[in-house]
Amino acid sequence: MSEHSSKAKQIVILGGGFAGLWAAKEFGKKDGYQVTVIDRNNYHLFQPLLYQVASAGLEPEQISYPLRGTFRKMLNVDFRMAEVTGLDLKRKVLLSDVGPIHYDGLIIALGSVTSYFGVPGAEEFAFSLKSAEEAIDIRNHILSCFEYAQHEPDPAIREQLLTFAIVGGGPTGVEYAGALAELVHTSLRRDFRGLDKSDVKIMLIEGEDGPLKGFPEKLRSYAKKRLEHLDVHGNYKQHVVQVEADKITLKSGDVISTRTVLWTAGIRGNNVAEKMGMPLGHANRIITTPELNLADNPEVFVAGDLALPMDGDTPVIGPTVAPNAIQQGALAAKNLMNLFDGTKLEPFSYFDKGSLATIGRSSAVVHLGKFKITGFFAWVTWLIVHLLYLIGFRNRIIVFINWSFEYLFFERGVRLIMPKAKDTIPHGKADEYEPSGAEGAALNERSTKEK
């Protein structure tokens, strides 16, 4: 009897996202491995629909699923909620806030965080959309802006509150711009009768000549026209050079007066990577072999947004989307098993299943091989794909019901401003911001009257 069959290998998977989840599923099919999935949250978050939480379309629990529930039928897979603090590669010990955790094989799939590219003020004042908490913060902020603007006598302040700047014209930025426009034109238009449609400005800021870089030109052109139809103002070939509490400055010198900046322009590897003493490459991602493991520590694999597979000087990476993370997670698990079995490891090669993005109601773009689909049928395709990838049968049913209700009645059902410890209104994320001049005098006078 081999050592592999007589004694279970201890496998640790860091991260319960797409890469970590699919890696665990591969090990769940095999004997001889005891797997522990570690994450700081006890749930898997379906990030492709996170923008709908931020635009009052869904609740976060409708796109989340308990990790323990996912592993319930995988008898060799366990879950542990912990925060990673470091890694001892020589001793094969993971350092965490619950103590040291030993492993025989490790898969790091901790995902990514927002990259602000060093733009002054961006991290402090702009909103990111990478977690359920951030999505709720954005929803609270957007709805609160309308509540404040409804009774704001100062036109300048009113304009700031009703101007929304979205930085980044990729799928997330485009989908959120479309969802926000639909929210404004339907539910909020009826809720806030004192506000005119023309008072609201939604601006999409993108460095390229249009949205959805990387998509075929036909689909990009359609998306651009569709955004214009939704009254989304495209600021293309523009870069943000500074973000402040009440305005942003573009490279052209133009200044946009706003208290809402949503940053979707880029990502970088999870900050935990810096604590692990690993080789880091572009965008703080961990450099690996084409087989997704470390050259000096072959029992350590990296998958998902955090991985930077290199074939010599050439990156072997796919787009930072769920299918890429799923494929890398599954391959990392298979290659780790191959390593223990002494068989050849397979290099990663991304299989492109297509790209898609929705742009408001009944509209989307889909690129599947030679097929380039736009409009209603693309939108139906987008709905089906996202429902299939969503974890949990109950979640699929609830999301489908929500989408059906919204489609039939032009109504967003989650227009709630939830209590939170930190108020983001009326000055964005800067609680310490103190207005000056006429604006400060107006606010102080109003505060005195209210008391």
Rounded distance, CA 93 to CA 37, Å?
A: 15
pLDDT value at position 439?
Answer: 52
Rounded distance, CA 147 to CA 149, Å?
A: 6
- Helix segments in 11-131, DSSP class H: 18-28, 50-54, 67-70, 122-125
pLDDT value at position 424?
Answer: 54
pLDDT in tens, the chain (451 residues): 334 444 899 999 999 999 999 999 999 999 999 999 999 999 999 999 999 999 999 999 999 999 999 999 999 999 999 999 999 999 999 999 999 999 999 999 999 999 999 999 999 999 999 999 999 999 999 999 999 999 999 999 999 999 999 999 999 999 999 999 999 989 998 999 888 888 999 999 999 999 999 999 999 999 999 999 999 999 999 999 999 999 999 999 999 999 999 999 989 999 888 888 888 999 999 999 999 999 999 999 999 999 999 998 888 887 888 999 999 999 999 999 999 999 999 999 999 888 999 999 999 999 988 899 999 999 999 999 999 999 999 999 999 999 999 999 888 878 888 876 445 554 444 344 455 555 555 545 555 554 4
pLDDT value at position 298?
Answer: 97
Strand partners, 166: 204, 262
* All structural domains of the chain with their residue ranges: 3-114+268-341, 122-265
Contact 94, 276 (CB under 8 A): no
> Which class would CATH give 122-265?
alpha beta
The active-site residue, picked from 152, 175, 182, 206, is: 175
pLDDT value at position 248?
Answer: 98
Q: Do domains 3-114+268-341 and 122-265 have the same CATH topology?
A: yes
For the stretch 373-388, pLDDT in tens is 999 999 999 999 999 9
pLDDT value at position 196?
Answer: 84
Question: Beta-carbon neighbour count of residue 105 at 10 Å?
Answer: 25
> Which class would CATH give 3-114+268-341?
alpha beta
Strands 163-167 and 201-206, by their bridges, are: parallel
Rounded distance, CA 434 to CA 451, Å?
A: 19
- Is 175 known to be catalytic? yes
Q: Provide CB contacts within 8 A for 304, sequence distance 6+.
A: 15, 17, 18, 19, 20, 109, 110, 111, 112, 324, 325, 328, 329
Give kind and range of the element (H or E) at residue 4.
Answer: helix 3-6
Task: Locate 285 and state its tokens.
Answer: 């991602």
pLDDT value at position 444?
Answer: 55
**In terms of Cα–Cα distance, which of 26, 15, 58, 67 is closest to 391?**
67
pTM above 0.75, yes or no: yes
Contact 308, 281 (CB under 8 A): yes
pLDDT value at position 429?
Answer: 45
What is the SS3 assignment for 305? helix
Rounded distance, CA 381 to CA 189, Å?
A: 29
Strand partners, 163: 201
